Amino acid sequence: MKKSGELQNSPQAASKKVARQKVLLGLVGAFVVLLAVLPLFASGFWMRTLTLLFLLAAMAEGWNFIGGYTGYAAFGNVAFFGIGAYGTALSMLRLHFPFFLALLVGAAAAMLFAVLVGLPVLRLKGHYFAIATVALATGVGEVADFWTDFTGGAAGLTLPFFHPIQLSNYFFYYIAFVLVLFGLGLTYFIMKRKLGYSWLAIREDEDAAKMMGINTTWSKVVAFALSALMAGLAGGIYAYWNTFVLAEEVFKIEYTLQMILATVLGGPGTVFGPFIGAFIYYILITLLVFFLPVGQLHATILGLIIILVMVFTPQGVMDFLSGRKRLTLSALLENIRTHKV
């Protein structure tokens, strides 16, 4: 019988890992406090940039539920963002709901869509699931574009400005920030519970999960619906902030790729990964736009980066931050060798 010492990652290594996680938690905590007080001295430009980043982080946190924890490569989550945006805008314009109520309607619409679509689509696996989600997101975008009577079609929907206007930057900064914190809290909460365990079990082996008593359909649909909740809320906030909703804009596949990229850069299947990854993503594209003559980051380039990240470090930077691996060339190459994707 083998003794534990012969295996790597002994319990001592595990306790070292716990210590490292505490440091990481402290750093993230300090960073969160910094972001909370930032508007006191940051310029409007920085606040708007960070607001956008927070919305991305929130969507990434949502994608993490289905893509990171449950292991289903959802490539259509922008649909939830778009539905959240339209749901919020239409509730404000047609029903004259106050913003927060409209936001909830938008998010609820996104979740409802996720449940209805998830029931059939989540039966598919791997590439088939990925393709089906792309197709659905594209389809919903087309409907929004052509259903002119309801959505305003190509003319878009124009929303009232936030009042008082001089507080607008602060309002959207903080609401997006709170959404990110909500996402972190929700992730942490779920992953301590049975639902979280069921997601991991499904990701690692769906047949074994089923046989062990997990209602996999239900678990997956909940994961999908919660990712829709996050993206739907982000979409609603974005709509009001932008005061304009256009199908071409809010159903852009780039948004899906951005949330995937933020998650995989930071660390799929980790609590802080998507949040950290959103920052890494922003730094990365700023550098790319600066150094490469691309002007704008198209879907192709984002897709290429996703492939590179998935190949070299499928666990994102969290792999290195959490102490599971050391950031060396050999660790990156090892990732290629043991590739599971």
Q: What does each C-alpha distance from 32 to 117, 283, 320, 322, 340 come to in angstroms? A: 35, 18, 21, 18, 34
* Cis-peptide into 39, omega within 30 deg: no
- Token pair recorded at residue 265: 């850069």
* Closest CA relative to residue 304, chosen from 292, 322, 317, 290: 292
Shortest distance (Å) from residue 128 CB to other proteins: 20
Choice between 248 and 334, CB closer to other proteins: 334
Q: What does each C-alpha distance from 66 to 69, 129, 198 come to in angstroms? A: 6, 12, 12
Half-sphere exposure of 154 (CA within 13 A, CB side): 0
Q: Which residues bind other proteins (CB under 8 A)?
A: 1-4, 7-9, 11, 14, 192-194, 197-198, 200-201, 203-205, 207-216, 269
Shortest distance (Å) from residue 224 CB to other proteins: 18
Choice between 110 and 321, CB closer to other proteins: 321
Choice between 2 and 96, CB closer to other proteins: 2
Q: How far apart are the first and last CA of the chain?
A: 33
* Closest CA relative to residue 61, chosen from 301, 193, 233: 233
Show the beta-strand stretches assigned E in 79-222: 157-158
At residue 281's C-alpha, the angle toward residues 18 and 273, to 5°, is 20
How far is residue 330's CA from residue 325's CA, in Å, rounded to a whole number? Answer: 10
What DSSP letter does each residue of 7-26 carry, written as one string? SSS-HHHHHHHHHHHHHHHH
Shortest distance (Å) from residue 198 CB to other proteins: 7
Choice between 158 and 215, CB closer to other proteins: 215
Shortest distance (Å) from residue 206 CB to other proteins: 9
* Closest CA relative to residue 241, chosen from 98, 90, 85, 106: 85
* Cis-peptide into 160, omega within 30 deg: no
Choice between 303 and 314, CB closer to other proteins: 314
Shortest distance (Å) from residue 98 CB to other proteins: 38
Choice between 13 and 333, CB closer to other proteins: 13
Shortest distance (Å) from residue 205 CB to other proteins: 4
Choice between 198 and 256, CB closer to other proteins: 198
Choice between 16 and 94, CB closer to other proteins: 16
Shortest distance (Å) from residue 330 CB to other proteins: 18
Shortest distance (Å) from residue 213 CB to other proteins: 3
Dihedral of CA atoms 222, 88, 258, 138 in degrees, nearest 10, equals: 80
φ, ψ for residue 157, nearest 5 deg: -120, 135
The amino acid at residue 199 is W
Q: What SS3 class is residue 99?
A: helix
Choice between 8 and 300, CB closer to other proteins: 8
Shortest distance (Å) from residue 191 CB to other proteins: 10
